[in-house]
Amino acid sequence: MPGGNGFNVDALVEPDRVHRACYVDDEIFEREIRRIFHRSWIYVGHETQVPKTGDYATTVIGRQPVIMVRHADRSIHVLYNRCPHRGAKLCSQRAGNVGAAFTCSYHSWQFKLDGKVRHIPIQNGYENTRFSLDSPDAHMKPVARLEVYRGFVFASLSAAGPGLQDWLGAAIAGIDDMCDRAPEGEVEVVPTCFRMMQKSNWKIFLENQLDAVHPSITHSSTGLAAQKVEQEMRAETGKPPPLSYHYISAFAMELDKWGALDVVGYPNGHCVLQGYMGLRPTDPDTLEYEAAMRQNYSPARTEEILDVNIHHLLVYPCLSIQSPLQQLRAVRPIAKDRTLTEIWHFRLKGAPEPIYRRALDYFYLVNSPSTMINADDLFNFRKCQEGLESEGGDWVSFHRNAGQDRVEGGITTTNIGFSEAPMRNQFAAWRNYMAAEPAA
Amino acid sequence: MSRAQENSAGRDPLPAAAVGLETQHAVAQFLYRQAEILDDRLWDDWLALFTPDGHYWMPAAPEQLVGEGQPNIFYEDHYLMRVRIGRVNHPNAWSQYPPNRTGHVVSNVVVEAADPASGDLVVRSKFLVAEYRNDEQRVFAGKYRHQLKKGPDGYLIQLQRVDIVNVEGPFDYVLQYWI
């Protein structure tokens, strides 16, 4: 670590560059888990993953395995995945239904869906011991804080800190954008989660999400191949290619157009990249969808909703949301050089089926394990990680347009898509989280 | 449902058609040829294996019954396969440097159904694929189910279903082209 012993955030993060140790140092990674992932709000899942009583889904918050479960009173609970008896995990699958109670496979201790102990099979023998059913130690431990915003379930392992909506601030517009686009104002998860294991630090993935320089370089092979097939399809069928081809051919858009995109940085590291795909065509399916929107919203409100132009919302440190295409990637750091992403997509409730198919096409082309897009991203991430492990240089450069950002009310704006403002904004939040050890 | 229950319901979960050795031999040769085409990256030959409206399909879950309108790991017609080939062949396909190499073994070939009039077949088989790239080797295993059309020049694939055993596992990606 630079500066020898101890953690010195000033030696790691400067306004326009960061030290490579942020990506390759095991101790810094452990501190990130404690200081960031065990304290900030972390996306757990969507409540439609657990529609029925006893439905559960498992994931991790930092290093902590957790269960999101639906209670009979319809409330959502997020509990540590640990039996208070001998510590066995209670749920060993990614999702399922436990019925009326969790039952441990080891000694059959049972817990209600809010985590309270329900039954211990052998009740004698605890007289004159310190064990008591009244003690918190007898129950599954709930997360310190839990909030659900429009179906999106977030938890924090720390009792202290801002509430979810304060923490999201204006970045909440990205979640609203996804839900508002549903004629019924809600989204529903599609129960297929693709998981991608990246052999790189979690921050490299997040930095890439708002990097408007890379697409036309990293993804040129796929963009150009798709453009060629689009032309062939027009010639062979006499019809315009489906919108899905545009999703990938747009990656080969000229660099200048990427440079014209707006990027916005919010407090706590959240960022937004403006949309570029022009996802408001005038085909019959879109017109049918817009008619459904007008039935549920006023025409003026419908225009307002459809005019929102977001490509990516980054909820730092845990989430990348593509609201107009109803997908998200949840970030689960495993090690300094290993990051799992859980990738989901959603249906707009009340929207015609062809509108869902658009989200599905993007999910397939960009986010599935056969992706022709992320394959090249993951290759770059891994090369970054391997290069950063070297001693060929100490610094990662975020200099582009540094000092030229407009900052007003804590919100950073730039209309230079190439600005490295989003990365600087993420590291400003990183500094705050990492600077001091939490109070015990 | 157990095998016995399936049978008591009158359905054989592992149907097999009585076909002659010649058909059995011809279809096995077809599957071996497809495997060689993939291992040798002969993309024009790959496209020529499929009917004009044929699909290559790898579902995202074993219980999936159709590819259309569902999340899939692969679901590609000729046009999407052409995009993929165009990408893999493009000098800027960064993650194809170095390219991967594969070795396919196809076995356990069972003709599930045969249409005596058309000669069309439904065929199940198993595969093992070793993939090597960048000092790492991965192994994929699973089953194929081919719906084959009999044409004047042999069989063509109407639909190839590919179920890999680690379907829900985490991947960095599966393959950059077909398994």
Domain spans of chain A, in order of start: 42-149, 167-434
- Domain enclosing residue B70, as ranges: 27-164
Q: Which of B74, B87, B169 sits opposite A222 (nearest CB)?
A: B87
Q: State how far the Cα of B149 lies from the Cα of B156, in Å rounded to an integer.
A: 5
The pLDDT of residue B4 is above 60: no
CA A232, A236, A242, A247: dihedral to nearest 10 degrees? Answer: 0
Report, in this order, helix, strand and coil percent for chain B, each rounded to 5: 25, 40, 35
Contacts of B39 (CB under 8 A, 6+ apart): B101, B102, B103, B104
pLDDT on residue A438: 52
Q: Which residues of A touch B (CB under 8 A)?
A: 94, 190, 192, 194-199, 218, 220-222, 224-226, 228-229, 232-233, 241, 245, 248, 340, 345, 353, 357, 360, 363-364, 368-372, 374-376, 378-380
User: For the domain that residue B105 is a member of, what is the CATH number?
Assistant: 3.10.450.50
Q: State how far the Cα of B25 lies from the Cα of A261, in Å rounded to an integer.
A: 59
| Residue B121 · residue B23 · CB < 8 Å | yes
Instruction: Name the token pair of A369.
Output: 């394990």
Which residues on B lie below 8 Å from A221 (Cβ)? 86-87, 90-94
Task: Decide if B144 is inside a domain.
Answer: yes
- Closest of A295, A361, A28, A332 to residue B76, by C-alpha: A361
Q: State how far the Cα of A326 lies from the Cα of A152, in Å rounded to an integer.
A: 13
Query: For A42-149, which CATH superfamily applies?
Result: Rieske [2Fe-2S] iron-sulphur domain (2.102.10.10)
CB contact under 8 A, A368 and B94: no
Mutate to test the interface with A, among B172, B175, B176 (most CBs of A within 10 A): B172
Nearest CA in chain B to A341: B170
CB contact under 8 A, B173 and A233: no
Q: Which of B58, B171, B175 sits opposite A197 (nearest CB)?
A: B171
Minimal CA separation from A350 to chain B, in Å: 17
CB contact under 8 A, B86 and A369: no
Positive/negative CA dihedral, A380, A384, A386, A392: positive
Task: Decide if B13 is inside a domain.
Answer: no
DSSP alpha helix (H) spans, A308-373: 353-362
For chain A, residues with pLDDT lower than 50 are 439-440
Which residues on A lie below 8 Å from B73 (Cβ)? 368-370
Model confidence pLDDT, tens digit, residues B60-115: 999 999 999 999 999 999 999 999 999 999 999 999 989 999 999 999 999 999 99
CA B140 to chain centre: 12
Exposure b/e, B168-177, CB count within 10 A at least 16 = b: eebbbbbbbb
Into which CATH architecture does domain A167-434 fall?
Alpha-Beta Complex (3.90)
Q: What is the DSSP letter of A142?
A: B
ipTM, interface predicted TM-score of the complex: 0.93
Q: What is the DSSP letter of A420?
A: -
> CA dist A280 to A105, A321, B98, B114, Å?
52, 19, 39, 47
* Number of domains into which chain B is organized: 1
pLDDT on residue A278: 62
pLDDT on residue A275: 75
Model confidence pLDDT, tens digit, residues B128-163: 999 999 899 999 999 999 999 999 999 999 999 999
**CB-neighbour burial class of residue A92 (10 A; exposed 0-12, middle 13-18, buried 19+):** exposed
Which residues on B lie below 8 Å from A229 (Cβ)? 79, 82-83, 86
**CB-neighbour burial class of residue A270 (10 A; exposed 0-12, middle 13-18, buried 19+):** buried
Instruction: Name the token pair of A355.
Output: 């509108």
CB contact under 8 A, B83 and A245: yes
Hey, do A42-149 and A167-434 end up sharing a CATH topology, with the first three levels equal?
Answer: no
CA A386, A389, A392, A394: dihedral to nearest 10 degrees? Answer: 130
Which residues on A lie below 8 Å from B172 (Cβ)? 196-199, 378
- Closest of A203, A214, A217, A323 to residue A269, by C-alpha: A203
Which residues on B lie below 8 Å from A233 (Cβ)? 79
Task: Decide if B47 is inside a domain.
Answer: yes
Task: Decide if B138 is inside a domain.
Answer: yes
- Closest of A146, A90, A139, A85 to residue A115, by C-alpha: A139
pLDDT confidence band for B7 (50 / 70 / 90):
low
pLDDT on residue B175: 82
Size of interface A-B (CB pairs under 8 A): 101
